[in-house]
Structure formats: C-alpha cells, structure tokens
Structure 1
Amino acid sequence: MTNEQTSRTVAIVGTGVIGNGWITRFLANGFDVVAFDPAEGAEERARQSIDNAWESVEQLGLHESASRERLTFVSTLEEAVQGADLIQENVPERTELKQNVLAEIDHHADPTAIIGSSTSGIKPTELQQKLNHPERFVVAHPFNPVYLLPLVEIVGGEHTSQEFEQKAYAFYESASMKPMIIEKEIEGFVADRLMEALWREALHLVNDGIATTEEVDKAITYGAGLRWAQMGPFMTFHLAGGEEGMRHMLKQFGPALKLPWTKLEAPELTEELQERVITGCETHAGDRSVAELERKRNEFLVKLIDLVEDYWP
C-alpha cells in the first residue's frame, strides 16, 4: 500500500458493512479514523469486523503507520466530523435520510473538508440539496469489500466544484484506491449499471429454467470473469478481433448485437423465482458459512489484485 497521503484524519458516519470496510481501509493505510453510529453495539461490531478483515489487508500490504488503535468512536456526529479532512457518509440508502445527515455533517465540518457519500445509486445533485457548501460534496461509491477492492467512483453534482472533485480523487488515491471520476451523473453510476445488466440476464436464465444459479456462476467464474478481472469487456473484445483488434471485431460480430440474445427488462421477482435463487445459492454454498466464504473470497482477492497489478497497468 502507498506511503503517501494528502491528509491524516477521516470521519466515518454509519458503520454497517460499507462503513466498517472504509474504516479498515483507512486504518490499513495509516490514517486516524473517528467513527460515529448511534446504533447500540456499533463499536463492538465495527472492531470485530476490522479484526476479521485485518489478516487480508496485512497480506495485501500495510502502510508503515497502519494500526487498529488509530480508531476512535465518539458519541455525537458533531464530535466525529470536527477536524476531519474527509467525512464518509454510509447511512441507509434513503434519500431524505441521507440529505438530513449530510446537512448536519455540512454544518459541523471544517470548511476545507471533503464530504463523500457511499450511495450506490442516488444522484449527487439530489443529495447536496440541503447543503450550505454543496461545492465540497461528492458521491464516493466503493465496492464490497471496501478494504480490498480499490475502485471508487467519484461523482459530482450540479454544485460540486472541480477543485473538490480533484481533491477527492487525490485523497482516495492516497488510501491505495483506484479513483474514477464520472463526468456526467446518472443513476447507478457506471459499475453498478454494468453489474445490474448482468444480474437481470442471470435472473432470466434461472427463471426460464435455462441454467441453475451454480451454472450461471460457473459461466462467469471460468469464462468471462477470468478475462474481465484483467482487462474488462472492451479490451477483451479488442483481443477477440485478432491483429486488427476492435476494428475487425465490430465488423465481424457487430451485426450480432441486433440478435435477441439478451433481455433488458428484469423478470418479475415472483416467490417462485426468489425461492429458486435462494435455494440454488444455499445448495451451492453447502455447509460453508457466509463467514467462511468471505474468508476464502478475501484470500482469492488478495492474490488476484496482485496479479492484476503485475499483468495490467
């Protein structure tokens, strides 16, 4: 992990799965973290989550100043955000709730602080409506597990300044992330829209009895997923075109895009489909608990991230 930082103190507001993932990432990269969550038992759950993830971040590589002791829980939001260089909001995905929490953060935060929201789909312009200083607000959408996956989508709203977008980019990069600025806001941003399209098609395949959940997962795991982890869809297809690359690929396979291979609309989520999906996943998991599967996932991701860094710039 990088030893360079643009700042040292982060406030985390809301400590569910994503909030705790952020805490772990920032601690692993040598930041001081102040956390606030009014839910009973939040601190105990957060520290347990960090302990569970720490082995994985150690394998990935810790900052020389990394320490779990640099986490402080406080009893008020005001106390959490004062003095923080970045405030990361992670409350439930309800627009009005987020607007109100962000307004309170905006009221108490230092004037130069970046305010980021972990929303996975709400437009930043909606979220910054109640802010007195909307220019320093960005959506900073991470991916689970946040402490391992490096992508963060940075999206500004109508009132976000380019200065703060760039400031946010540098800040998240200093936490060993791969920031990506999305110039035009749209629901779901980029990565989730791509995943949602695949998810809809996967549900159709299961619903229509074409494949089981295990077979769909196998199709991705041992097919497209292996290539996408290194290059993504565009470069994968570029290589599929031979020496002429994408130019030949589009010429040869472009017409196939008009064939009705995929269904853009999601299937109705009937009780039967839900049960088929749930039963399929539980059968595939077997007697392995979610915690065990998470540990195996983390071990795999650490190795995969190293491979991606070695074989693709």
Structure 2
Amino acid sequence: MNQLKEEIKTVAVIGTGVIGNGWIARFLANGHDVIAYDPAPGAEEKTRQAVELAWTSLLKIGLAPGASVDRLQFVSTIEEAVKEADLIQENVPEREELKKNVLASIDYYANPEAIIGSSTSGIMPSRLQKDLKHPERLIVAHPFNPVYILPLVELVGGQLTESSVIERASRFYQSVQMKPLVVRKEIEGHLADRLMEALWREALHLVNDGIATTEEVDAAIVYGAGLRWAQMGPFLTFHLAGGNAGMRHMLEQFGPALKQPWTKLEAPELTDELKEKVIEGCETHAGDSSVADLENKRNEFLVKVLELAEEYWPATNSVSKI
C-alpha cells in the first residue's frame, strides 16, 4: 500500500445509530467535513437532531476552529460516502456477516490510502479484514457512549493490519480530543467492555438472588467505586489501599481474599423473571424522568467530571499501550 496521506480532513461515517451519530458530532466539533450514509428511513433527520442535541455539550467542552453542523453531508450510497474520505468509521449493527459485507463495500469503493475503522465492541479485526482487498488498513476503533463526550477509543489491529495505520489512526483520534488506547493483542470484547461485562454479570446475580435492587446496585457504584475509578482506575485505587507500602502491602493483606468465592463469573440465566426485575427496577429508579431527560443530565455531569478528571488524572494519561 502507498504511504498514507499524513492529514485526515474528510471523514465518512457509515451507520448512523447512537454510536454513528456520536462520532459525527465529535468529528464536526473538531472541524472536520463529515459524509454520512445510512439506508434506514428518516436516518438523516434523526442524525441532524442528534447532532443538535450533542452540540449543547460540545459548546461547553469547546469547539475547534471551523467547527460547524453545516459541514455534515448525507448521501444515498456507500460509494458516494467513502470515495473522497480519508478515514471511514463503520458503525453498523453488531452482526458479523453484516459488518463483513458493509466493510467489503467500503473497502471496494474507498481510496486505498484511506483508513477504515470499525466501531465493533466485540469482534476481532482479523475476522473482519479476512476477505478485504486492502486488509492492511482496517482497524477496530471502538468508542464509548456518548462518543462526543467520552474520550476513550480502543484501537485494535488485526493480523494483517500495518503498524503505520495504527500509528496514524492514533494521531488522528488524539487530534479529535480522544484518548486512544492501543490494545496490543486481539481478544473478543477488547479491553473495557470485558471489564464492564464482569461487573454487569455480577450485578445481574445480585438482583436475581434478591440481594439488591437495581437502584441499590447503581448506588453502590455511584457513591463508592465509581467516584474513585473516574480518577484512578482499579489498580491505582488498590495501590492506595495498601497505605505507604502501596500495592505490595495490599496484595499481602487482601490477596488471599481473591480465593474466596465472592463473585460469580458466569452470567445468570436471563429468565423472564430476571428481565422483569431489571426492567421494573430501572423504570422505578428513573421515576418521571424520560430517557431524554436522563441523557441530558448524564451529559451535563460527564462534561463536569471530564473537566475534573483532566485536572487530576495522573501523568500516565497520555496514549496508553497495553
């Protein structure tokens, strides 16, 4: 493959659901031209509404020079969307065959020098790039909702991905105010979702066994671990738990407890009864607040937390490689 162009100006977004629209808002806010494609009826109207809603938070975070919602163009085919793009962000539903088919079309029509990033939350890139004409330029670029606020993006290369593509993608995502985390080894679910899934499985057990309600589980995280994790994450949090000796003392004192069967790593069977417990619990917890109301409150909170986290994050908050 020819050496990639150094500057990414135009971005294509394929699939404009919640994640796709989040990407569009972030790219626009950072001064890029965005070309979007989604065959669903009413997709363009929904996208423009979603971007307008996100813009309130983005104004608080700060816009790049030239940022404008008017730099979004909706087109009617994948070919139109990707042919002039420097980077293509794919966000179709999490069905492997569907993703492969869409990525094959993107790969066929896109400039060979363009980067293709898949937002997949669980599929390994080697499986997605297997039948592509230019597999070396495909990576996983997995964000977190709301994409226009949360800065983490996991970058994962497949067996055929060129290292220069990951390096260039990392520079680009940094340029749109993200924290790229380059995952050095492919694994289903990548990194962050595996951690969240472990907590989610245990939370379902606690509700299923009648130990706690959904509201009580949420409170345990919000007023305990969540506040600490927003600044330091689990390892530095436990490092502090060891006192002056840090993690060394923490593992000596509390390490043996890891052998105690406190947690249930297997997910509980998702019975109709458990579903209703979770659904009714969430609806009761939400009260009179609609999903839109809760999203607005979440966004206001995240903007403030992000500002605070940036101020207090340790020096290791640069691009991470694991």
Task: Name the TM-score class by shorter chain.
Answer: over 0.9
The alignment-based identity, stated in percent, is 72
Q: Which residue of 2 aligns with 1:124?
A: 125
Deviation at 1:265, TM superposition (A): 0.3
Deviation at 1:176, TM superposition (A): 0.6
Note if 1:62 corresponds to 2:55.
Answer: no
Q: Which residue of 2 aligns with 1:90?
A: 91
Alignment of 1:215-230 (within 5 A): 215-230=216-231
Deviation at 1:83, TM superposition (A): 1.4
Is the 1:6–1:174 Cα contact (8 Å) retained in structure 2?
Answer: no
Is the 1:103–1:130 Cα contact (8 Å) retained in structure 2?
Answer: yes
Partners of 2:151 and 2:10 lie apart in 1 by 19
Q: Which digits, 9 at most, give the CA deviation of each residue in 1:179-234, with x for residues without a partner?
A: 01101000000000000000000000000110000000000000000000000000
Deviation at 1:61, TM superposition (A): 1.0
Q: Hey, which bits of structure 1, 4+ residues long, moved more than 4 A?
A: none
Q: Which residue of 1 aligns with 2:37?
A: 36
Q: Which digits, 9 at most, give the CA deviation of each residue in 1:28-58, with x for residues without a partner?
A: 1111000011111100000000011110011
Q: Which digits, 9 at most, give the CA deviation of each residue in 1:2-38, with x for residues without a partner?
A: xxx9421100001000000000000011110000111
Partners of 1:270 and 1:7 lie apart in 2 by 48
Q: Aligned letter for 2:297?
A: K
1:296 counterpart SS class: helix
Note if 1:273 corresponds to 2:274.
Answer: yes
Partners of 1:84 and 1:236 lie apart in 2 by 42
Deviation at 1:130, TM superposition (A): 1.6
Deviation at 1:171, TM superposition (A): 1.1
Partners of 1:98 and 1:299 lie apart in 2 by 33
Q: Which residue of 2 aligns with 1:199?
A: 200
Deviation at 1:261, TM superposition (A): 0.6
Q: Aligned letter for 1:186?
A: I
- Supply the RMSD in Å over aligned alpha carbons: 0.8
Is the 1:100–1:130 Cα contact (8 Å) retained in structure 2?
Answer: no
Note if 1:154 corresponds to 2:155.
Answer: yes
Q: Which digits, 9 at most, give the CA deviation of each residue in 1:68-112, with x for residues without a partner?
A: 000000111101001111000001111111001101101111121
Q: Which residue of 1 aligns with 2:172?
A: 171
Q: Which residue of 2 aligns with 1:289?
A: 290
For structure 1, the 5+ residue unaligned runs are: none
Deviation at 1:65, TM superposition (A): 1.4
Partners of 2:46 and 2:182 lie apart in 1 by 32
Alignment of 1:133-148 (within 5 A): 133-148=134-149
TM-score, structure 2 length as denominator?
0.95
1:230 counterpart SS class: coil
TM-score, structure 1 length as denominator?
0.98
Partners of 2:8 and 2:86 lie apart in 1 by 7
Q: Aligned letter for 2:203?
A: A
Is the 1:6–1:170 Cα contact (8 Å) retained in structure 2?
Answer: no
Q: Which residue of 2 aligns with 1:256?
A: 257
Partners of 1:171 and 1:311 lie apart in 2 by 25
Q: Which residue of 1 aligns with 2:233?
A: 232
* Matched residues, number: 309
